[in-house]
């Protein structure tokens, strides 16, 4: 089905054509007409499905009506968990709105607040913001919500994981009741469902449409997933071996802790492999610099903590490695969603140690299949990972 069938304006369609999009993705086909009809939507869609365009395009279509804004006012608000995602969503908005008259801005913490205030003075049609900085602005009366027409909670599950629940509810309390509300989340957990009830409280009765494009058990199918059982102390040697012997072109490498990221970069450097890292202790400017090098292909190996890498869109990323297995199965799904995006194929590899057994079982149960196990010659684990149990339920949840 072509984009024109969805009822989008020619100016938007030509911008999509310039981006190289030929047809809408399933989440776009399902959500765009419903959002354009003015309904509230709660959608389960992970990163990589094209969800950003699914909510951005109807917003641009709706707001492009020559309306002039009062100062310090916004007409739509997209709340996102991290500054990286704010920048990325804003980049998409700029690309999609290049043929229409509309202002947009990304607002996030860790940068000069006065400069952002100045940009709000004339009002902004589409504001992408992280919750903390947005509240700061509202407290300082640099921003008013009385002209707001649409609010989006993007990656709602991540925002809740990061502890933004109260901030989001505080923000929702300040918004006009008459508005359109949209929520996108990789998972629709109980907490996300509760938040969606608060979000759509004032919407027209029964008008909330729930859309799911990701069946509970499905991770991106174009990603081949496999694991290697390994001892904790041989992981960096194994990684160097894989990079060199298997001639890896590029990899996003996930670790759980900041100090592990720095140590791994140093360990790889000793073996003549250039890598860099992004984690919470690096400044915004450093993070952006490293990310841009990685995106351009100049930097081949990026080590990231899960938090720092949230929402990052790297385009054609061929490989993701879980150097540390994540604690939550949802995090695993998010991480592997960084590769094989929008139809491209990718590979997601996990290093699994004996101590990771429970985490592995939880992930495999969530996926509803076991991960293929591969052995690398010379790296057989001294402490082997036991055979997995599917449908494993942690004791705390029995």
Binding residues for ligand AMP, rule: CB under 6 A, are 21, 24-25, 28, 47-53, 313, 315, 341-342
DSSP 342: G
Rounded to the nearest whole angstrom, what is the least distance from the CB of residue 60 to ligand AMP in the complex?
14
Contact status, residue 157 vs residue 330, Cβ threshold 8 Å: yes
CB closer to ligand AMP out of 50 and 123: 50
Residue 218 or residue 375: which is nearer to ligand AMP going by CB?
A: 218
Least separation in angstroms between CB 50 and ligand AMP: 3
Between CA 162 and CA 131 the distance in angstroms is: 11
Handedness of CA 359, 362, 365, 367 (dihedral sign): negative
Shortest Å, Cβ 371 to ligand AMP: 24
From the CB of 97, what's the least distance to ligand AMP, in Å?
Answer: 14
Identify which of residues 229 and 337 has a Cβ nearer to ligand AMP in the complex.
Answer: 337
- Which is closer to ligand AMP, CB of 78 or CB of 321? 78
CB-based contacts of 256, cutoff 8 Å, min separation 6: 305, 306, 324, 326, 327
Beta strand extents in 154-263 (DSSP E only): 180-185, 208-212, 223-229, 251-255
DSSP 73: B
CA neighbours closer than 13 Å in the CB half-sphere of residue 260: 16
Q: Bridge-partner residues for 74, per DSSP?
A: 124
Task: Give the residue with the Cβ less far from ligand AMP, 52 or 236.
Answer: 52
HSE-up of residue 344 (Cα within 13 Å, Cβ side)? 17
**Beta carbon of residue 31, minimum distance to ligand AMP (angstroms, whole number):** 11
Q: From 377, 333, 339, select the one nearest 215 (Cα to Cα).
A: 333
- From the CB of 239, what's the least distance to ligand AMP, in Å? 27
Output the smallest distance, CB 184 to ligand AMP, in A: 9
Distances (CA, A) of 204 to 5, 110, 121, 177: 27, 38, 32, 10
* Nearer to ligand AMP among residue 150 and residue 238 (C-beta): 150
- Residue 72 vs 341, nearer CB to ligand AMP: 341
């Amino acid at each position: 089905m072509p984009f024109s069938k969805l009822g989008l304006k020619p100016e938007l369609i030509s911008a999509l054509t310039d981006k190289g999009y030929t047809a809408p993705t399933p989440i776009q086909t399902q959500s765009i007409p419903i959002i354009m009809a003015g309904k509230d939507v709660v959608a389960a869609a992970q990163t990589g499905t094209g969800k950003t365009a699914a909510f951005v395009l109807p917003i641009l279509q709706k707001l492009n009506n020559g309306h002039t804004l009062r100062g310090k006012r916004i007409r739509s608000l997209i709340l996102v968990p991290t500054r990286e995602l704010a920048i990325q969503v804003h980049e998409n908005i700029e690309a999609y709105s290049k043929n229409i008259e509309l202002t947009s801005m990304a607002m996030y913490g860790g940068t000069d607040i006065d400069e952002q205030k100045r940009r709000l003075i004339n009002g902004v049609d589409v504001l992408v913001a992280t919750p903390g900085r947005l509240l700061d602005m509202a407290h300082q009366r640099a921003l008013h919500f009385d002209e707001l027409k649409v609010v989006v909670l993007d990656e709602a599950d991540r925002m809740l994981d990061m502890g933004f629940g109260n901030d989001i509810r505080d923000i929702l309390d300040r918004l006009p009741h008459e508005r359109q509300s949209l929520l996108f989340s990789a998972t629709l957990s109980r907490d996300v469902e509760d938040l969606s009830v608060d979000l759509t409280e004032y919407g027209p009765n029964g008008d909330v449409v729930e859309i799911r494009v990701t069946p509970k058990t499905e991770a991106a199918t174009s990603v081949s997933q496999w694991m290697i059982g390994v001892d904790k102390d041989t992981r960096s040697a194994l990684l160097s071996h894989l990079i060199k012997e298997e001639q890896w072109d590029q990899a996003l490498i996930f670790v759980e802790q900041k100090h592990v990221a720095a140590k791994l970069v140093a360990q790889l450097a000793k073996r003549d492999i250039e890598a860099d890292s992004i984690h919470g202790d690096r400044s915004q400017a450093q993070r952006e610099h490293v990310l841009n090098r990685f995106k351009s292909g100049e930097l081949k190996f990026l080590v990231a903590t899960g938090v720092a890498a949230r929402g990052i869109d790297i385009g054609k990323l061929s490989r993701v490695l879980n150097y540390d297995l994540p604690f939550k199965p949802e995090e695993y799904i998010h991480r592997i969603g960084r590769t094989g995006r929008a139809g491209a194929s990718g590979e997601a590899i996990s290093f699994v140690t004996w101590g990771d057994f429970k985490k592995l079982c939880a992930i495999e149960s969530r996926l509803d299949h076991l991960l293929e196990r591969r052995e690398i010659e010379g790296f057989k684990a001294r402490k082997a990972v036991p055979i997995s149990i599917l449908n494993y339920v942690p004791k705390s949840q029995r």
